Structure 1
Amino acid sequence: MKQINQYFSYAFGAFGHDAFYATLSTYFMMFVTSQLFDGDSAAQNAKMIGYVTTMIVVIRLVEIMFDPLIGGLVDNTETKWGKFKPWLFVGALISGLMLMLIFTNFGGLTVSNPMLYLILFAIAFVILDIFYSFKDISFWSMLPALSLDSKTRTKFGTIARFGSTLGAQGVAIIIVPLVVYFSHIFSGTTGQTQTRTGWFWFAVVIAVVSFLGALATCLGTKEQTNAIREQTEHTRFRDVFKVIGENDQLMWLAFSYFLFALSYVVTNSLLIYYFRYIMGKPTEFSLVGVETAILGVISVAIFPLVESWIKRRAIYMGGIAVMLLGYVTFLFAGTNLTIVLIGVALFFFPYPMVFLATLMTITDSVEYGQLKNGTRNESVTLSVRPLIDKLAGAFANGIVAFAAIAAGMTGSAKASSISASGILQFKTYMFYAPMILLVIAAIIFARHVKLSEAEHAKIVAQLENNLDNQD
């Protein structure tokens, strides 16, 4: 019963965590490009969108360099609540407050004092990004602390991905209806009209859910104590990047996964634009959320079985192949809703399994690095996965905003106002470039990543044997 409670608590934490991540990385740019700037000058609005986008990309890229240091700080934390939970709690609280803040125009400063707005936005976003990093790293780096056994880790990872899939895709389901609903309630609008206030209250809901999920994880999970984990030493900040750099399997996997994640996030972020500006059916976007939530649950549920049959390597490579088939389907879909949804299904279904295959391999690289370098670094190693996702998200934010401006998909633009050249530019960003990235990611993984389930079992046995010999 205690184990079931831990699974549920970790899953709920992942649910709130990925609802937050989807809101920030996928839908915040839609708020920026369509609602945040409402001045009379379209040129000024586009300029402000460009400033905000550039700031987001620069802030996230700079902050990402500190993620391994944050991982080192978490690794070196010692409290009666463990080393992860204090950071998880504080990170969820402060990042949630900042999320609500950035979904406002700071009391009209976007029009009355744009420069002051940009300064305050930068401060708020820096705070959000730092504390989100503490939350992200502490949450996912708990995984190797919950068990040493790969099968048990797979169960924790699977149930966490189950929760995160529902969280992320649940946002796609509720975002349009919820924003419209809050716009009706607080702005007095009718029909499908969306307002800044509606978006703000949507952000409030996401922030609360994220915090409650983190609280559930803090209260319902427990770190495992064993001889191998006790071998952990304090990591000096100057050695953090050395720890990562010397773990060759971690580095190659990180490179491949970055290209994979970037292609996924860009396409996924532009999907709502596709429905609104290419198909002219923004209200139908909720179907994507329903479809991907169902497919995500199925994908995550069958992951342990599929892994037992074909192993993680085949899941990673096969998943990319199916996603490429989804891209091809998109290219022939046009505005046909049925074919678009088929393309979405092929594109999305493998994603949770590829994510889990990556997460489990990164988790196993903790012991790989421990055997190779003689020290165990859980949070430093696991910080690489959220670092990659944030790096991909940062670049994706910039690409999405650039694509929207280049294609004319800003402000009050409608599907009928998008030119043929605008559509071609948009499809280049959404389909053609990501396809190339996926192919490169598959080649890197196939050539360089060798850490399999069997290899990890040998490594754990060797570590245990080394400890026995020391005794």
Structure 2
Amino acid sequence: MNLFKQYASYAFGAFGHDAFYATLSTYFPIFVTSVLFTGHANSAKMIGTVSAMLVIIRLIEIAFDPMIGGVVDNTRTRWGKFKPWLFCGGLISAVALMLIFTSLGGLADSNDLAYLIVFGIVFVILDIFYSFKDISLWSMLPALSVDSATRTKFGTVGRFGSTLGAQGVIIVVMPLVYFFSQKFSGATGQTQTRAGWFGFATVIAIVSFLGALAITLGTKEQKNLLRENTKKTRLRDVFKAIGENDQLMWLGLSYFMFAFGYVVTNSLLLYYFRYVIGNAGAYSIVGVITAILGVISVVLFPFMVKLLTRQGVYIGGIAVMVIGYIIFLFSGTNVTSVLVGVAFYFFPYPMVFLAALMTITDSVEYGQWKNGTRNESVTLSVRPLIDKLAGAFANGVVMLAALQSGMTGNAKPSDISASGLLQFKMFIFYIPVILIILAAIIYFTKIKLTEKEHAKIVKELETKLKAEKAAGKKIGD
């Protein structure tokens, strides 16, 4: 299959996938705190309960992610092992996303308990099928090529698409919410309604499914000697494959701290523009800036890796992000200064993500070399597992920050107390900075799986497997 077609399909699939993820992790909590329970007699209680449910459901489901990876690894169909899950997961999670951006047939207004029960069921279904799609999409990387350079290209175009998807949502979220609020609810100005948020979620759900369809039809798994050396993964071997891969474990810890810090800040940005600056409409500018910088960052990644190595990109990128946080911290309500801080802290993010993703991808061969078994989806399930874990905690933190700071409903900047603003800054600035610095320290001290080390491991594996295959033929003769 034409490589350009595969790159384009993978990029569009990642575009829709990260647009979905941004909508779920960043904007669903805003929908809940801003409009879902406005005017509800027990709004604070319901927001707190939904927040707790999000965290608990995702934490429980996360424990099953490696097993989902095992199911994908054991899948054998004429379309390969990834595509059936991409298609089904994309369709079902898209429908579920639209449902959670509603009052579930009026239950949010008329029956609190019924709403919570139905919401819990829908969200569990969404999370499970999103996990199948997420794990399948990113664990395709080692199946598309065994060569680190080609993998880097697939990872780069994938991140190119996902960056545009995630940052594109920032650009369109408020215009779409306002448009559909006016179209379906007769609202005026910057008034937000449930119908407006539902219209926005519907657009994202459709784009997400079309992306999954593009990957299903436009990519091809590579067949080679290394991938033939794959055994059926037993349930008891799933966690063993992860636990015995020390490089995967250390990278996982580092990336969790990085992702947690980043998602918390990113999820609270709209609150900052709405409740601190008092201009939610200006938030769209963030999307324009980050989309442009994201494209530049992704394009630069292969060159930066050659110049600095993955370790240099990961640690250096975090150093630049810290500078951005410092600028942001002292910006106050100055929109220009805030945008400069956002630019600094966002620009390295796609590169840091790609450095982590490529290290995880290369740990497939590292685990095969160390333990004698190749586990593609199980190994690659660690990255989405960590993202969801970070997202689950971040959802809880965001709703807690909103409640503690008084940033709910129709509150204005003048309604936010000094202590509330201080607590908000702790959540959006101080905690994330500490987390990403710790992430850099762990990567620097514990990750030894460099590009050169991976190439050496691949060569050793190929030599070993060729010798075993030759020996097997001789015995058969």
> What's the TM-score once normalised by structure 1's chain length?
0.99
Match of 1:254 among 249, 252, 261: 252
SS of corresponding position for 1:228 = helix
Q: Which residue of 1 aligns with 2:385?
A: 387
Q: Which residue of 1 aligns with 2:30?
A: 30
Matched, 1:112 2:110: yes
Please state how far the C-alpha of 1:352 moved relative to its aligned partner: 0.1
Please state how far the C-alpha of 1:431 moved relative to its aligned partner: 0.2
Please state how far the C-alpha of 1:117 moved relative to its aligned partner: 0.2
8 Å contact 1:39–1:111 — kept in the other structure?
no
The one-character-per-residue Cα deviations of 1:260-304 (angstroms, maximum 9, x if unpaired) are 000000000000000000100100000000000000000000100
Please state how far the C-alpha of 1:91 moved relative to its aligned partner: 0.2
Please state how far the C-alpha of 1:38 moved relative to its aligned partner: 2.5
The one-character-per-residue Cα deviations of 1:162-181 (angstroms, maximum 9, x if unpaired) are 00000000000000000000
Please state how far the C-alpha of 1:438 moved relative to its aligned partner: 1.2
Please state how far the C-alpha of 1:469 moved relative to its aligned partner: 1.8
SS of corresponding position for 1:92 = helix
Q: Which residue of 2 aligns with 1:139?
A: 137
**Matched AA of 2:396:** G
CA distance in 2, matches of 1:77, 1:230: 14
Q: Which residue of 1 aligns with 2:10?
A: 10
Q: Which residue of 1 aligns with 2:39?
A: 39
State how 1:318-467 maps to structure 2 within 5 Å: 318-467=316-465
8 Å contact 1:325–1:346 — kept in the other structure?
yes
Please state how far the C-alpha of 1:468 moved relative to its aligned partner: 2.2
**Matched AA of 1:292:** T
Aligned residues: 469
Q: Which residue of 1 aligns with 2:85?
A: 87
Please state how far the C-alpha of 1:414 moved relative to its aligned partner: 1.1
8 Å contact 1:315–1:353 — kept in the other structure?
yes
CA distance in 1, matches of 2:439, 2:124: 30
CA distance in 2, matches of 1:171, 1:243: 36
SS of corresponding position for 1:124 = helix
The one-character-per-residue Cα deviations of 1:116-156 (angstroms, maximum 9, x if unpaired) are 00000000000000000000000000000000000000000
CA distance in 2, matches of 1:312, 1:418: 43
CA distance in 1, matches of 2:109, 2:363: 50
CA distance in 2, matches of 1:418, 1:38: 18
State how 1:150-229 maps to structure 2 within 5 Å: 150-229=148-227
Identify unmatched segments of 5+ residues in structure 2: 471-477
Q: Which residue of 2 aligns with 1:21?
A: 21
Match of 1:62 among 60, 63, 68: 60
SS of corresponding position for 1:398 = helix
Please state how far the C-alpha of 1:461 moved relative to its aligned partner: 0.3
CA distance in 2, matches of 1:259, 1:414: 32
CA distance in 2, matches of 1:146, 1:239: 24
**Matched AA of 2:107:** L
CA distance in 2, matches of 1:244, 1:25: 26
Matched, 1:125 2:123: yes
**Matched AA of 1:128:** L
The one-character-per-residue Cα deviations of 1:397-436 (angstroms, maximum 9, x if unpaired) are 0000000000000011111111111100000000001111
CA distance in 2, matches of 1:348, 1:324: 10
State how 1:301-312 maps to structure 2 within 5 Å: 301-312=299-310
**Matched AA of 2:29:** M
Q: Which residue of 1 aligns with 2:290?
A: 292
SS of corresponding position for 2:225 = coil
CA distance in 2, matches of 1:189, 1:438: 41
Runs of 4+ residues over 4 Å off in structure 1: none
Please state how far the C-alpha of 1:70 moved relative to its aligned partner: 0.2
8 Å contact 2:18–2:166 — kept in the other structure?
yes
SS of corresponding position for 1:190 = coil
The one-character-per-residue Cα deviations of 1:371-409 (angstroms, maximum 9, x if unpaired) are 000010000000000000000000000000000000000
Please state how far the C-alpha of 1:40 moved relative to its aligned partner: 4.6
> What's the TM-score once normalised by structure 2's chain length?
0.98
CA distance in 2, matches of 1:56, 1:304: 37
CA distance in 2, matches of 1:331, 1:190: 34
State how 1:274-293 maps to structure 2 within 5 Å: 274-293=272-291
8 Å contact 1:326–1:342 — kept in the other structure?
yes
CA distance in 1, matches of 2:109, 2:222: 53
8 Å contact 2:34–2:410 — kept in the other structure?
yes
CA distance in 2, matches of 1:214, 1:119: 29
CA distance in 1, matches of 2:246, 2:177: 45
Identify unmatched segments of 5+ residues in structure 1: none
CA distance in 1, matches of 2:279, 2:188: 18
CA distance in 2, matches of 1:4, 1:325: 37
CA distance in 2, matches of 1:187, 1:258: 40
Matched, 1:468 2:466: yes
- My pick for the range that moved more, 344-353 or 411-420, is 411-420
8 Å contact 1:103–1:200 — kept in the other structure?
yes
The one-character-per-residue Cα deviations of 1:20-48 (angstroms, maximum 9, x if unpaired) are 0000001110000001112353xx10000
8 Å contact 2:40–2:109 — kept in the other structure?
no
